[in-house]
Structure 1
Amino acid sequence: MNVHLVIQLARFGDVIQTKRLIRGLLADPGNQVHLAVDAGLVELSEMIYPDVVVHGLPVHDPRSEPATLIRACAEIFSAWKAADVARVYNLNHSGFNHVLAGLFAPEQVVGYQWNQGQALRGSWPETVFRLSAHRSANPLNLMDYWGFFLGQTQGLAQGLTQGVVLDPALVNPPATPKGGGLGVVLAGRHARRTLPVPILARVIQAAAARIEGKILLLGTAAEREAARALRPLLPAAIQGRLKDLTGRTGWTGLRDVVQGLDLLLTPDTGTMHLAAHLGAPVTAFFLSSAWAFETGPYGEGHQVWQSVEPCAPCLEAAPCPRSAVCAQAFADKAVLARLARSAHSVQSAQSAGPERSNHPDPPESLCLLRTGLDDFGLEFHPLAGELPDQEARAARRELLRSHRLRIGPRRIRLEQTAAEALYHEPDWMIDTP
């Protein structure tokens, strides 16, 4: 039995976006997988990965006493030692991650390493890190990024089976309406990624025209005020369909609700990734710092309304000098008209392509995308609007695809700028771990 440890200390959505890596490891019956997560995500992780040994660390709980943290860590470290971990996949560039990775020999660690007091990135993370210099041309989904950690074989001990880079089609089921009505996630983790309540009310009213049944409001207890503010902005007929579940569902309850939906309306959230995991259709609204190509819903048949303002995607930690103007376009009549279409006409428009749509074009600051899959991973097909940096993004994706899959590129000529952005001269001179 080969024991593999995945260190994923980020949040809700990131745990689910680790799925391609974890399922790839589990594809080899000779592997056992351990997963280190924040203590608050243990129940979720065990629900998503029932075949994985989950360890919870009190990383994000500000109430954790140092002594409690030390005791919890000591118990987990003892369990890892007893398990005789052979390979470690360290997925995040954070101090806590580096400390955990430092418990193991550097040659055991894939991803972000700690070696003799230095924080190091492996060759694949280093290559991908360079994409952040020009995010609007970044073509790589986080699920695929972590999934291709399995492609790194340097330091792999003799006889150690790593697992396989999982076929993208085996990660999540295709989006299929389930018959349980409309779900609405009221807010993202950051306020700038969240549609203002008056705009969200118009979006719900449009989508409710083609989705029958209950309209389920989802979120934590912090979103209850938004749910109360939303109700009077909706027509009486739609108010009668509302069911406020904010703060009323644990992880299991949230799964039970989401897996039965006809459609989930959401910003870039963990609940969006849960819906994609379960095959529930998603229509997502990406604004501010959210970029669909990086963290969009994974699988066939989801839709994303992506803000393409000149400043998008922005850095949410920095103040917005434009008063979050990117949110206003989501209330445009063309957007609402598309949301109100029947399911049949949505499928017809997807087949026909944007040029044959009978609906008005969205504002220039928005682009409508549909998710799809190829042999590399998640890709997006524009249904309406114009994407910035499309050629540069396509060239970078094809270059990554050809190198990670070790096959010839589908495009005979690739942009030189794409190669220069992803690979530097020392990459060809020094074989970094």
Structure 2
Amino acid sequence: MEFIMKRALVVQLTRFGDLVQTKRLILTLAGRGLEVHLCIDRSLNDLAEILYPNCIIHTLIAHGTGISGDGISSALPVNYKVFQTLKDINFDYIYNLNFSPMNYMMASMFNPEKVIGHKRVNGQPIRNPWIDFGFRIATERRNNINIVDYWAALSPEMIPASEVNPLATPKGGGIGVVMAGRESRRSLPIDVLAPMVMAARSVNKNKKIFLLGSSSEKDAGKKLLAKFPPSIAKDVENLVGTTGWEDLSKTVSNLDLLMTPDTGTMHLAAHFGTPVLGFFLSSAWCFETGPYGKGHTIIQADFDCSPCVESQPCYNNLKCLEPFKEPSMPRFIATRKPDHLPQGLSVFESTCDFLGTKYVLKAGQDITSERRERLRNFIGCHLGILDIGEYGPFPELAEKFYKEKDWITGSRL
């Protein structure tokens, strides 16, 4: 009898960072012996081939990238061919990770019983039970889980978190500096960033500095370079707006350290096991979107309004930025001594546990740590990873996060 390998399609139509953060799910599916197909925006094709060489990649126009003229009408014939190709493949599972109109359109092409994640049934949007549960957990953003683990848990028998990315270790190639993230208030101004970069360089064996970012950040790269004295500037290579996916991957994979806000390049560094020193403020929260795996460090701004919602205005004059401006901040970067850490900041290091990647406090405060640990145990029992007899019961969490239909179907703790 001929053996027919089962197939899974992962639909990930968002941006750079989300594609990298789909890694645990993709590796889990491959580990189950499935032929994994990946549908993405075509601007990410070269990156996807670097990240997932064993996947079959399908690209469409999800964000209008690379289109001239009428973007909508130009996209239709391209996307129609992709849709037809995917429809003709006999997929056993379709993991639809986003809830955009195009995601729902794609999900409608398949038997809804095969679609896991977001789908429409009889015209109504339906969420997988785990996705629905994840939305409820996300109401406690301070205690939320990493999005890598959120997507991976759509599949049973997740591979261990420690096997997703290599242990972060310096590679000997110098320091990389990412200029900014997509949200400006989540990034450090040039005047704040420059002395921190020089402090990190002062204690690094390789004195080379690589400035990284998109073409829209070229001016920021020039301004940062101008902040360095000639003795340092001679060791700086300004790559902002000049690297394709292959060059960016090669550079990042050889660094001793990547200094960055919450960006896709940060997740790329984690993929290669390059140590990250991340600056998280405003809506960026390391427990949700920090670099995955062991050995990364996040300096997290933590105030009563943290983390905020990036789509809403800041009514607190961006007070989470103020600690990064303190004179002692560069000294902390160089020494990593808690005595030099400004108030309002906490330092976390990444590690892995039964559920996925978690962050452990090294300096500062973490006022919700006990609640977060209990919630992780609750989720572990919900997913069947932990034994409720040993770790439970969780009556107050069950009352908050389960709905009446969950009790009817037996999903209760």
TM-score normalized with structure 1 length: 0.89
Query: Pick from 197, 201, 204: which aligns with 1:204?
Result: 197
Which residue number in structure 2 is paired with residue 216 of structure 1? Answer: 210
Instruction: Flag the 1:311–1:258 CA change in 2: closer, same or farther, 3 A.
Output: same
Query: Pick from 304, 317, 326: which aligns with 1:332?
Result: 326
SS in 2 for 1:150: coil
Asked if 1:148 is matched to 2:153, the reply is yes
Which residue number in structure 1 is paired with residue 72 of structure 2? Answer: 66
Asked if 1:19 is matched to 2:23, the reply is yes
Asked if 1:93 is matched to 2:99, the reply is yes
1:376–1:405 Cα contact (<8 Å) kept: no
Instruction: Flag the 1:429–1:220 CA change in 2: closer, same or farther, 3 A.
Output: same
Letter in 1 for 2:121: N
Query: Pick from 337, 345, 349: which aligns with 1:366?
Result: 345
Asked if 1:248 is matched to 2:225, the reply is no
1:308–1:388 Cα contact (<8 Å) kept: no
- Cα deviation, 1:354-392, whole Å, max 9, x if unaligned, reads xxxx54153332110000001221011100011232222
The CA distance in 1 between the partners of 2:367 and 2:81, in whole Å, is 49
Matches within 5 A, 1:110-149: 110-138=116-144, 140-149=145-154
Which residue number in structure 1 is paired with residue 159 of structure 2? Answer: 166
- Cα deviation, 1:252-302, whole Å, max 9, x if unaligned, reads 000000000000000000000000000000000111111101110001110
Measured on the aligned residues, the alpha-carbon RMSD in Å equals 1.8
Which residue number in structure 2 is paired with residue 102 of structure 1? Answer: 108
Letter in 2 for 1:142: I
Query: Pick from 11, 30, 55: which aligns with 1:7?
Result: 11
Q: Give the number of the structure with larger relative contact order, counting CA–CA contacts within 8 Å between residues 6 or more apart.
A: 1
Letter in 2 for 1:418: L
Unaligned runs of 5+ in 2: none
2:338–2:363 Cα contact (<8 Å) kept: no
Asked if 1:280 is matched to 2:286, the reply is no
Letter in 1 for 2:378: L
Asked if 1:318 is matched to 2:312, the reply is yes
Query: Pick from 288, 295, 318: which aligns with 1:294?
Result: 288
Letter in 1 for 2:81: E
SS in 1 for 2:53: coil
SS in 2 for 1:128: helix
Instruction: Flag the 1:238–1:411 CA change in 2: closer, same or farther, 3 A.
Output: farther
The CA distance in 1 between the partners of 2:304 and 2:403, in whole Å, is 28
Asked if 1:80 is matched to 2:59, the reply is no
Compute the displacement of 1:410 (Å). Answer: 9.2
Which residue number in structure 2 is paired with residue 262 of structure 1? Answer: 256
- Cα deviation, 1:141-169, whole Å, max 9, x if unaligned, reads 01111111102xxxxxxxxxxxx411111
1:392–1:415 Cα contact (<8 Å) kept: no
SS in 1 for 2:155: helix
The CA distance in 2 between the partners of 1:328 and 1:186, in whole Å, is 19
The CA distance in 2 between the partners of 1:330 and 1:418, in whole Å, is 36
The CA distance in 1 between the partners of 2:410 and 2:87, in whole Å, is 29
SS in 2 for 1:305: strand
Matches within 5 A, 1:18-57: 18-29=22-33, 31-57=34-60
2:332–2:340 Cα contact (<8 Å) kept: no
SS in 2 for 1:204: helix
Letter in 1 for 2:313: P
Identity %: 39
- Cα deviation, 1:156-186, whole Å, max 9, x if unaligned, reads xxxxxxxx41111110000010000000000
Compute the displacement of 1:75 (Å). Answer: 1.2
- Cα deviation, 1:185-230, whole Å, max 9, x if unaligned, reads 0000111111011001121111111122210000011111111111
The CA distance in 1 between the partners of 2:28 and 2:99, in whole Å, is 22
1:361–1:385 Cα contact (<8 Å) kept: no
Which residue number in structure 2 is paired with residue 355 of structure 1? Answer: none
Instruction: Flag the 1:308–1:142 CA change in 2: closer, same or farther, 3 A.
Output: same
The CA distance in 1 between the partners of 2:29 and 2:151, in whole Å, is 12
Which residue number in structure 2 is paired with residue 394 of structure 1? Answer: 373
Query: Pick from 373, 376, 395: which aligns with 2:355?
Result: 376
Stretch deviating more after TM superposition (410-419 or 56-65): 410-419
2:378–2:392 Cα contact (<8 Å) kept: no
Unaligned runs of 5+ in 1: 152-163, 347-357
